[in-house]
Amino acid sequence: MLKNIPAIISPELLKTLCEMGHSDRIVIADGNFPACSMGKNCKVIRADGHGVPELLDAILTLMPLDTYVEKPVSLMAVMQGDTAKTPIWEEYKAIIAKHDERGADTVGEIERFEFYEQAKTAYAIIATGEKAVYANIMLQKGVI
């Protein structure tokens, strides 16, 4: 056991966060995200049974967001014509504001298929059991 490490952070995830360098990206994916096919060239970490907000909060407790880019946090934009609602995004923004003084200003949206392309080049993808739609979020690591 270690002190001050959120219990939701598995040893594998902790190791991955430590290995990541400045500008590396990590995706926290909802339960519908094709994590294994998108993550063929990166680490895929299973976090079944956990939601994205809890993991986001725990990760941001340990990992700084990049300050050298305008939007170090990316959300998968809702497809044109889709009527899905994304109330979980407000949760994300509140969590981010708790850990980064820039708050919601760190958050941008990426078109769905572009999000997939960028996810393929991420350092890691965390596959969660999150049931909310469009709940995928990508974080770019900063420096301490």
- Is-catalytic flag, 68? no
- Is-catalytic flag, 134? no
- Is-catalytic flag, 22? yes
What's CA 103's distance to the chain center, in Å? 15
Catalytic residue among 30, 66, 92, 100: 66
What is the per-residue burial (b if ≥16 Cβ within 10 Å, else e) of 42-79? bbbbebeebbbbbbbbbbbeebebbeeeebbbbbbbbe
Strand order in the sheet with 43-47: 43-47, 124-128, 25-29, 137-140, 73-76, 107-110
**Residues designated as active site:** 22, 66, 116
